[in-house]
Amino acid sequence: MNIFNETTDLAKTPITASIMTLALGPYTIECQYLKSAYKITSSKTSDIVLSAEFSIPKSFYIDSTGHFNAVEANICLNQMSYLLFADFVSKPNAHPFWATLGSFDLATFKEKQLARIFIVSLSSRFRQALDAGDFRGSLRWKSVSKKMGLILCQAEFGFGEHNNSAYGEVMFAIPLH
């Protein structure tokens, strides 16, 4: 997954420590794998990308497999998703996705974060081993829409150099009420 096909006109914005603390707060310290991140936008597309640095020094649920695995990929994907969503709603702006979100704010995010933000579709592929001790990942929001009382966010993600060691697509759903 290329972060953006065009390489010009990119704006990179670091994610603040306060947003990281809020978004990763539900995770135990041992499972806060996301260490730093920035958001990337371009005037040439409505896509929004989060690029993140991760470190998984020790698995919390199994002896070391020696490589990044599907369980860890899902945890990292969730952490990127929560972080990008929290950052986005913390800064209301004229981005096209705002028309769909309406009055969603940080208080609404916190209220819905664990119990009301769902993965409804997930497809992932693993092409090569990835050292879980230090790696990059990215999440790209491709579209945000409303359907049947839900906010739907279509996204793609990747981990590793050029985001191609493990990658896939995901759809998140958030009930409007």
Q: Are 83 and 37 in contact (CB under 8 A)?
A: yes
Q: What is the CA radius of gyration of the chain?
A: 16
Residue 33 to residue 30: CA distance in whole angstroms: 8
Q: Are 44 and 28 in contact (CB under 8 A)?
A: no
Least confident of 9-13, 20-24, 123-127: 9-13
Task: Return the structure tokens found at 48.
Answer: 């929004």
Residue 33 to residue 23: CA distance in whole angstroms: 12
Residue ranges of domains in the chain, CATH in brackets: 10-175 (3.10.129.30)
**What is the mean pLDDT of the segment spanning 140-162?**
93
pLDDT, one tens digit per residue, over 25-69 is 999 999 999 999 999 988 888 888 999 999 998 887 777 777 788
Residue 138 to residue 23: CA distance in whole angstroms: 16
pLDDT at residue 3 in the model:
54
The CA-based angle 68-70-71, given to 5 degrees, is 95
Residue 137 to residue 160: CA distance in whole angstroms: 6
Residue 8 to residue 92: CA distance in whole angstroms: 24
Residue 70 to residue 166: CA distance in whole angstroms: 9
pLDDT at residue 108 in the model:
85
Residue 174 to residue 154: CA distance in whole angstroms: 12
Residue 51 to residue 89: CA distance in whole angstroms: 17
**Prediction pTM value:** 0.90
